[in-house]
Structure 1
Amino acid sequence: MSGIVESVQAKAQEVAKEDYDRAKALINDAAKSGSYLYPIKGIFYFLSHRSLWKPLLKKLAPIVTLSVGVVTGMFFFTYVPQLALMTFVNGPLAVLTTAVLVLNESSAVISFLSRNFVMQDALLDTFDGTLISRDATNLVSEGRELKSGRDPIQRLGKVLKNPFQRFSPKALIRYVMYLPLNFIPVVGTVAFIVLQGRSRGSTIHDRYFQLKRWSPNQKAEWLSKHTGPYLAFGVLATLLDMIPVASVFFSFTNAVGAALWAADIEHKETEMTNGTAPGLREAAKKAE
C-alpha cells in the first residue's frame, strides 16, 4: 500500500513540475516579447494621435448609452441575487467577488451587442489606421483600398477583406462554462480572467494574419509558438475591458495596441520575429 502511495506522490510531483516548467516558459516568452505592454502603449498612442479618434467619436453616443444601460441594469437586477449565493461560498469577500462577476457579465453583454451591432467597422478602421500610421501601408493595402493623403483614417477606402467575425456561439458558450469559476474565492476569479484572456489573445491579430495571407495552419503554428505573449496581451486587455463604461474606450485602445504590436512584428522590432516569421513568410510565398 505504501508503495502505491509513494508512486502516486511521485507522479503528482512530476505533473506539478511539468506544469511549473510550462508556466515558467510562458512567462519568460511573454516577458521577452513585451506583449503585456502593448495594451498600455495602445492607450498612450491613441491619446497622442487625434486622427485615430474619429472611428470612436462616430460611435461614441450609442456606445456610451449601451454601456451605461447594460452595467446599470445588470447591477440592479442581478447583483443582490448573486450576492446571496456568493455569500455562502466566499463569505465576506462576496461583496467584491460578486461585483467582479457582474462586471464580467456586463462586459460580455456589452461586447456581444457592441461588436455585433455598433462598432465592428470602427474597430477595423482603428486597427488599419494604426498600421498606416506606423508605415505599414503596403500591408494594409492587401485588405482594402487606400486613398492619398497624410491622415491615416481618411486614407482608408473600401474594405476588400473583413476578418472581424461576429460574436461566435462558441465564445458565448465558453464564457458561460467558465463563469462558475467565480464562485471559487480569488483563485477562481483569477482563473476565469486568465481563460478569458487566453481566448481574447488568440483573436487579436486575426486582421494581421489575414493581411499577411497566412493559412489557418500558419496562423495556428505562430500562435502555438507564442502562446505566452498572446496570453499576456489577452489578460491585460480583458482586465481593461472589464472597467465599467470605459471598457468601450479600451476596446479601441486595445485595437491600437494590437496594431502597434503587429507593426513591430512586421518591422522585426520584437523578439518574436527572431527565426520564426521568416519561415512563415517563405511558406506564405509558396502558398501563393
Structure 2
Amino acid sequence: MASHIVNKAQEAAREDYGQAKRLLNEAARSRSYLYPIKGVAYFLSHPALWKPLRSKLVPYLTLYSGVLGSMFFFTYLPQLAVMAFVNGPLAVLTTALLILNESSTITSLISKNYLLQDALLDTFDGTLVARDATGIVAEGRELNTRGDSIQRLGKVIKKPFSGLSLNDLVRYVMYLPLNFVPVVGTVAFILLRGRSRGDSVHDRYFQLKGWPASRRSKWLEDHKGPYTAFGTVATLLEMVPLASILFSFTNTGKF
C-alpha cells in the first residue's frame, strides 16, 4: 500500500514537472515576458495615450500612498514577526515584498473598480485605434471621425471589462499563506498572481470580438504559458511603489 502511494506521488510529480517544463518552453518561445516592457516603450512613444493616465494620476497616487503607508505602519511588524519564524533573516525582504503585493491588491481592488476603470478602458480602446483596429473597437463603442486615438473614442456601447473581481480577491487570500515558505513560496505566490493577471489581460478584446466564455477558456488554456509569463512580469512591475499606476496603463495598452 505504501509503495503504491509513493509510486502515485512520483507519477504526479513527474506530470507536474512535465507540465511546468512545457509551460516554460511555451513562454520562452512566445517571448510574451517582453510584452510589458514593449508596452512601456509603445505607451511613451504615443503621447495621445497619456491623457487617461494624466486625468487620474493625482487621485491614484493619493490612494496608493495612503494604502501603502498604512500597510507598512500597521502591518509590517506583525507580519515580520510571523515571517521571521519561517524565513529567518530574509523575512525583512519577504515581508516588504508581501506588503507591496498586499498594497497593490488593495489599491487595484479600489481603483480598478471605481477610480481607473474608464481610464483603462480608454487606454485599451485607444491603443487599438492607434493601431488601426477601428473595426474591432466599433463593436464596443462609437467612434468619432477626427482627432487622435483618444479623441476619436465616443460613447461606450458594450459594458467595459471589470476590474479585480471577488474571485480574484478570494484566490489572493488562498494563495497568501505561500509566503510563509521561504523564497520558493513567495516566487510561487507571484507566479500564481501572474497567471490570474494574464488570464484577464484580454477580457476587453474577447468582449469586442464577441467570443463566448467557452471559447475564451479554451484559448487561455491553450496559451497558458505565454499569458502566465506576461502576467508575472506585469504583476512585478505593478508592485513598484508609485510607478505602479504607469505600469497599470502600459500593461493595459500592450497586447
**TM-score for both structures, normalised by structure 1:** 0.85
Where 2:148 maps in the other structure, the secondary structure is: coil
Distance 1:8 1:166, change over 3 A: closer
Report the equivalent of 1:135: 132
Matching of residues 4-15 of structure 1 within 5 Å: 4-5=2-3, 7-15=4-12
Alignment RMSD: 1.4
- 1:68 correspondence with 2:94: no
CA apart distance, 1:99: 0.3
- 1:100 correspondence with 2:97: yes
- 1:80 correspondence with 2:74: no
1:159-197: per-residue Cα shift (whole Å, max 9, x none)? 001232243222111111111111111011011111111
- 1:30 correspondence with 2:27: yes
Report the equivalent of 1:229: 226
1:37-90: per-residue Cα shift (whole Å, max 9, x none)? 111111011111100000000111101111111111111111011111111121
C-alpha distance in 2, partners of 1:12/1:168? 34
Contact conserved, 1:115 with 1:166, CA < 8 A, in 2? yes
1:175-233: per-residue Cα shift (whole Å, max 9, x none)? 11111111111011011111111111111101000111111111111111111111111
Report the equivalent of 1:204: 201
C-alpha distance in 2, partners of 1:210/1:249? 24
Q: Which residue identity is paired with 2:144?
A: K
C-alpha distance in 2, partners of 1:35/1:166? 22
The number of residues matched between the two structures is 255
Matching of residues 65-214 of structure 1 within 5 Å: 65-214=62-211
CA apart distance, 1:10: 3.7
Q: Which structure has the larger Rg?
A: 1
CA apart distance, 1:150: 4.6
C-alpha distance in 2, partners of 1:32/1:132? 28
C-alpha distance in 2, partners of 1:45/1:27? 26
CA apart distance, 1:97: 0.6
C-alpha distance in 2, partners of 1:98/1:176? 16
Where 1:142 maps in the other structure, the secondary structure is: coil
CA apart distance, 1:15: 2.2
Percent of aligned pairs with the same amino acid: 64
CA apart distance, 1:9: 4.2
Where 2:154 maps in the other structure, the secondary structure is: strand
C-alpha distance in 2, partners of 1:162/1:34? 31
Contact conserved, 1:163 with 1:206, CA < 8 A, in 2? no
Contact conserved, 1:194 with 1:235, CA < 8 A, in 2? yes
**TM-score for both structures, normalised by structure 2:** 0.96
1:100-129: per-residue Cα shift (whole Å, max 9, x none)? 111111001110111122110000000000
CA apart distance, 1:8: 4.3
Report the equivalent of 1:53: 50
Q: Which residue identity is paired with 2:154?
A: G
CA apart distance, 1:35: 1.5
C-alpha distance in 2, partners of 1:154/1:106? 33
Where 1:202 maps in the other structure, the secondary structure is: helix
C-alpha distance in 1, partners of 2:173/2:88? 23
C-alpha distance in 2, partners of 1:181/1:29? 25
Q: Which residue identity is paired with 2:197?
A: R
Q: Which residue identity is paired with 2:221?
A: S
